[in-house]
Structure 1
Amino acid sequence: MNTSPVLIEELSTVLARGSADRRSEVLRRVTDLFLVGADQFGEDHVALFDDVMEQLVDTVERYALVRLGLQLSNVSNAPVNTIGRLCHHDDITISGPVLERSTRLTDEVLADVARTKSQAHLAAIAAREHLSEVVTDIVVERGDIEVTRKVTANGGARFSETGLRTIATRAHGDEELAEIFAGRTDVPADIFCEMVRNATDIVRRRLAGSAESAVRTRLDHAIAAIGDQLVHARLHKAHGGPSVRLEPDRIKARLCEHARLGQRGPLIEDLAAVADVPVIAVRNIIRQRSEDALLILCKAAGLGWSDARAVLEATLGEPADPRAAFQHYITLGTEVAQRVVRFIKLRKSANRTEIERLM
Structure 2
Amino acid sequence: MPALRQSILLQDADLITIAQTRSQGHLGAMADRREVGASVTDVIGARGNWPALRLLAANRTAELSGQGLARLAALSRGDGHITVALTKRTDLPAAVKGGLLARFRDMVMAQRSVLRGEHSDVQLDQVPPGDMSVPAASAPARQGGTDPLSAEKLRSAAVRVGVLSQSRPLTCTEVSDALARGRLTEAVVILARLSDEEPETFVHALRGLSPVKNLALR
When normalised by structure 1's length, the TM-score is 0.32
Deviation of the 1:104 alpha carbon:
1.2
Q: In structure 1, what is the Cα distance between the partners aligned to 2:62 and 2:11?
A: 15
Match of 1:342 in 2: 205
Indicate how the Cα distance of structure 1 residues 103 and 336 shifts in structure 2: closer, same or farther if over 3 A, else same: closer
Q: In structure 1, what is the Cα distance between the partners aligned to 2:201 and 2:82?
A: 26
Say whether residues 1:150 and 2:91 are aligned partners. no
Say whether residues 1:134 and 2:39 are aligned partners. yes
Q: In structure 2, what is the Cα distance between the partners aligned to 1:204 and 1:169?
A: 20
Given residue 118 of structure 1, which amino acid in structure 2 is its aligned partner? S
Given residue 126 of structure 1, which amino acid in structure 2 is its aligned partner? A
Which residue of 161, 175, 179 corresponds with 2:66?
A: 161
Indicate how the Cα distance of structure 1 residues 152 and 336 shifts in structure 2: closer, same or farther if over 3 A, else same: closer
Deviation of the 1:196 alpha carbon:
4.4
Q: Is the 8 A contact 1:169 1:195 kept in 2?
A: no
Q: In structure 2, what is the Cα distance between the partners aligned to 1:339 and 1:127?
A: 31
Q: In structure 2, what is the Cα distance between the partners aligned to 1:160 and 1:119?
A: 21
Structure 1 stretches of 4+ with a deviation exceeding 4 A read: 196-200, 203-206, 335-340
Structure 1 residues 154-207: Cα deviation after superposition (integer angstroms, max 9, x where no partner): 22211111111111111112112211111122211233344345557225789x
Match of 2:30 in 1: 125
Q: In structure 1, what is the Cα distance between the partners aligned to 2:78 and 2:85?
A: 13
Indicate how the Cα distance of structure 1 residues 336 and 134 shifts in structure 2: closer, same or farther if over 3 A, else same: closer
Given residue 171 of structure 1, which amino acid in structure 2 is its aligned partner? S
Q: In structure 2, what is the Cα distance between the partners aligned to 1:336 and 1:113?
A: 45
Indicate how the Cα distance of structure 1 residues 130 and 336 shifts in structure 2: closer, same or farther if over 3 A, else same: closer
Deviation of the 1:129 alpha carbon:
1.8
Indicate how the Cα distance of structure 1 residues 176 and 205 shifts in structure 2: closer, same or farther if over 3 A, else same: farther
Say whether residues 1:202 and 2:65 are aligned partners. no
Q: In structure 2, what is the Cα distance between the partners aligned to 1:146 and 1:124?
A: 10
State the SS of the aligned residue for 1:172.
Answer: helix
Indicate how the Cα distance of structure 1 residues 117 and 336 shifts in structure 2: closer, same or farther if over 3 A, else same: closer
Q: In structure 2, what is the Cα distance between the partners aligned to 1:203 and 1:176?
A: 12
Indicate how the Cα distance of structure 1 residues 336 and 179 shifts in structure 2: closer, same or farther if over 3 A, else same: closer
- What are the equivalent positions in structure 2 for 1:1-359 lying under 5 Å apart? 96-196=1-101, 201-202=106-107, 341-345=204-208
Larger relative contact order (Cα-Cα within 8 Å, sequence gap ≥ 6): 2
Structure 1 residues 257-297: Cα deviation after superposition (integer angstroms, max 9, x where no partner): xxxxxxxxxxxxxxxxxxxx97x77xx89xx7x9xx9xxxx
Q: Which of these two proteins has the greater Rg computed from alpha carbons? A: 1
Deviation of the 1:339 alpha carbon:
5.3
CA RMSD, Structure 1 to Structure 2 (Å): 3.7
Structure 1 residues 134-162: Cα deviation after superposition (integer angstroms, max 9, x where no partner): 11111111111111111121222111111
Q: In structure 2, what is the Cα distance between the partners aligned to 1:110 and 1:176?
A: 25
Q: In structure 1, what is the Cα distance between the partners aligned to 2:59 and 2:108?
A: 21
Deviation of the 1:342 alpha carbon:
3.0
Indicate how the Cα distance of structure 1 residues 105 and 205 shifts in structure 2: closer, same or farther if over 3 A, else same: farther
Given residue 155 of structure 1, which amino acid in structure 2 is its aligned partner? R
Aligned residue pairs, count: 135
Indicate how the Cα distance of structure 1 residues 104 and 196 shifts in structure 2: closer, same or farther if over 3 A, else same: same
When normalised by structure 2's length, the TM-score is 0.50
Given residue 67 of structure 2, which amino acid in structure 1 is its aligned partner? T
Structure 1 unaligned spans of 5+: 1-95, 207-225, 231-276, 294-334, 347-359
Structure 2 unaligned spans of 5+: 112-132, 151-197, 210-218
Q: In structure 2, what is the Cα distance between the partners aligned to 1:145 and 1:336?
A: 30
Q: In structure 1, what is the Cα distance between the partners aligned to 2:65 and 2:76?
A: 16
Given residue 342 of structure 1, which amino acid in structure 2 is its aligned partner? A
